[in-house]
Amino acid sequence: MRNQPRMSRVKNRTTIEGKERLQKILARAGLSSRREAERLIQEGRVTVNGAVATLGARADPRRDKIKVDGKLIRQPSPLYYLFHKPKGLITSMHDPEGRPSLGDWLEPLGKRGRLFPVGRLDFNSSGLLLLTNDGELAQRLTHPRYGIKRTYRVKLNACPSEKELELLRKGIRLEDGITAPARVKIVQALKKNAWVEVEIHEGRYREVRRMFQALGYFVEKLMRVRFGPIRLGPLAPGQARLLLPAEIIALKKSVGM
């Protein structure tokens, strides 16, 4: 008789563990980020087995019928791409001003509307951009809590001194506060300019450009060459490739998945 309550508790725990927060399920389905999923739920656009869901609700994606705007969602196979974003491309699926956008480049992959970028690179920057339909992984990779490091190669209009670089290593004041210490070194000093490598982990808006502008330098080129454990490598601008299984494992491990 003493074993019966214990067995019941195990059974109940299994039932509870089969359910997940709705925003996590929607994000993994590639429909939105977790924050956007919360908005969809608050707006009453999500139902579970015919009932309007509330924020904090849980569901089992294998058994429950989950709908967004009346359409049944399905859990797609996870996709993970490495894309070399060229300069002069908007990191969004569509641009109302008609400029080249990420959606135009994803169309040949046949996955338009399913893949989305992990973070952003501004219009004049190039380099490594991760694409996925795994909303949970994307949310963690861009969350400050996990401190994912990004490495950039930057071409400046002049060569900074070691004293100036030391300011970046300690943290420099910007209009939105002091930056976290950065790892920075001169890669190549030329006659009129220089290539510098910078590693940061905050991911603030246009952070690298603003860091050097605070020192009085103009950024002529900026290319991201590494995001967490993933390196850009020889991939040409405008080209994409699937991540290798080992790369996917490394990415998930970096954010505790």
CA-to-CA distance for 32 and 134, rounded, in angstroms? 10
State the DSSP string of 209-246: HHHHHHTT--EEEEEEEEETTEE-TTPPTT-EEEPPHH
Q: Say how many domains are in the chain.
A: 3
pTM listed for this prediction: 0.75
Q: Same domain, yes or no, for 118 and 182?
A: no
Domain with residue 48: its CATH number is: 3.10.290.10
Q: Among 77-86, 130-139, 160-169, name the one with the lowest average pLDDT.
A: 130-139
Q: Same domain, yes or no, for 240 and 113?
A: yes
Q: Per-residue pLDDT averaged across 58-68, rounded?
A: 88
Q: Same domain, yes or no, for 119 and 17?
A: no
122 among known catalytic residues: yes
Token pair, residue 225, equals 């060459």
Q: Same domain, yes or no, for 46 and 153?
A: no
Q: Which of 31, 50, 72 is the last residue of a domain?
A: 72
From 60, 122, 134, 176, active-site residue: 122
Domain with residue 137: its CATH number is: 3.30.70.580
Q: Which of 72, 96, 118 is the last residue of a domain?
A: 72
CA-to-CA distance for 257 and 253, rounded, in angstroms? 6
Q: Same domain, yes or no, for 52 and 93?
A: no
pLDDT digits 0-9 by tens, 13-33: 333 456 888 888 887 776 767
Q: Per-residue pLDDT averaged across 111-131, rounded?
A: 85
pLDDT digits 0-9 by tens, 36-59: 888 899 999 999 999 999 988 999
Which one, of 137, 133, 189, lies nearest residue 161 by Cα?
Answer: 189
**Would you state the pLDDT for residue 109?**
65
